[in-house]
Amino acid sequence: MAIKALGYLGVRSDRLDDWSDFAGRLLGMQKIDRGSKALAFRMDDRVQRLLVSDEPGDTLAFLGFEVEHRDDLHSYAVRLDAAGVQVNLGSRELADRRFVGDLVWFLDPMGNRVELFHAPMIATDPFVPGRPIDGFMTGPLGMGHAVLHVKDIEVMMPFYRDFLDFHVTDYGLEPYGLYFFHLNERHHSFAMVGSGQTGFHHFMVEFRNLDDIGQGYDLAQQEEGLVAYTLGRHTNDYMTSYYANSPSGFFVENGWGGRLIDPATWEPHETHDGPSFWGHERLYLTEDGGRKRLRDMRLETAARGHRAPPVADCPWLYGELAKSRMRG
């Protein structure tokens, strides 16, 4: 049994108009109306990837992970139940709202709702982006990745690693604990930030064209306070990206050129360079509140001559790899 990708996620927010503009105009997703109380957004041939429900709270509502086989839903339910986790069978009505064949759901140790599903519905009409873009890197890689604030890593780690079979890609201990997990060739589909808090840190969408994030970055800079992290590049997954402040207060990473790994041969390891090679200035932080420390880490990394290998800069190679995965 296996969980193979992050398939969708849901957000609670009573700011549907703001989300319509943010996800459509800035991110380039296709808006789908779901009545007066919800909005859905497409990124590809799936009927929906992001669901925003008109509810108070402005936070993550659920994470949806896709399993390989329908029987995997039962297998994971049995394993979780044996560990004392209450597992709920999704009703037909809930499955229809998620546009999937079947699902189960449960809460992780910090109260985040996790849904496992099988047989996502494929749309009959083509994806029409909310602004001119070449599309998103999805397919076997899934929607992107999701990152949680975590109060106690020691509690959350065994839940995702041992019960759900998430595989540790790498981790860093400075300036705080960061743990990254893969489910497929994407460097990470899930991560935890050991910030001592609870809540949603960010989700990431990966564009097919570098110019699509550059043009989105230009759009984001037109609005005061919309950019949370400036354009930069991460040290572990080589993602070139910027982060925007979503209408619900968490971040959304707009990325390109993320690292692909071979899950069969990958060895988890500790990283020591900090989160970014360059850029990613945290505009929301004060100098004494971590901004200077993170900047100093980047400068130290640059002084040591650390950077991504040149092959990671080859969009043609990434394109050919993506095509081969789609054909497979």
pLDDT digits (tens, 9 = 90+) for 95-127: 999 999 999 999 999 999 999 999 999 999 999
Q: What is the pLDDT of residue 176?
A: 80
Q: What six digits make up the tokens of 286? A: 């004060």
Q: pTM value? A: 0.94
Rounded CA-CA distance 269/286 in Å is 31
Count CB-CB contacts under 10 A for residue 122: 10
Rounded CA-CA distance 169/185 in Å is 11
Q: Dump the DSSP string for 201-254.
A: EEEEEEESSHHHHHHHHHHHHTSTT-EEEEEEEESSS--EEEEEE-TTSSEEEE
Q: What is the pLDDT of residue 318?
A: 58
**Residue ranges of the chain with pLDDT lower than 50?**
313, 315
Q: What is the pLDDT of residue 317?
A: 59
Rounded CA-CA distance 219/223 in Å is 8
Rounded CA-CA distance 242/213 in Å is 8
3-state secondary structure of 37: coil
Q: What six digits make up the tokens of 201? A: 């840190």
Rounded CA-CA distance 237/275 in Å is 10
Half-sphere exposure of 320 (CA within 13 A, CB side): 4
Which one, of 96, 76, 133, 101, lies nearest residue 256 by Cα? 133
Q: What is the pLDDT of residue 156?
A: 95
Q: What is the pLDDT of residue 175?
A: 75
DSSP 69: S
CA trace torsion 3, 29, 89, 96 (10° rounding): -130
Domains in the chain, start-ordered, CATH in brackets? 3-324 (3.10.180.10)
Q: What is the pLDDT of residue 104?
A: 98
CB 273 within 8 A of CB 234: no
Which one, of 49, 63, 58, lies nearest residue 13 by Cα? 58
* Cβ-Cβ contacts under 8 Å for 284 (sequence gap 6 or more): 228, 245
Q: What six digits make up the tokens of 197? A: 């808090």
* Cβ-Cβ contacts under 8 Å for 232 (sequence gap 6 or more): 240, 241, 242, 276, 277, 278, 279, 280, 281
Q: Dump the DSSP string for 139-188.
A: GGG-S-EEEEE-S-HHHHHHIIIIIS-PEEEEEE-SSSEEEEEESSSBS-
CA 89 and chain centroid, separation? 25
* Cβ-Cβ contacts under 8 Å for 179 (sequence gap 6 or more): 153, 157, 168, 171, 191, 192, 194
Dihedral over Cα of 54, 59, 61, 64: its sign: positive
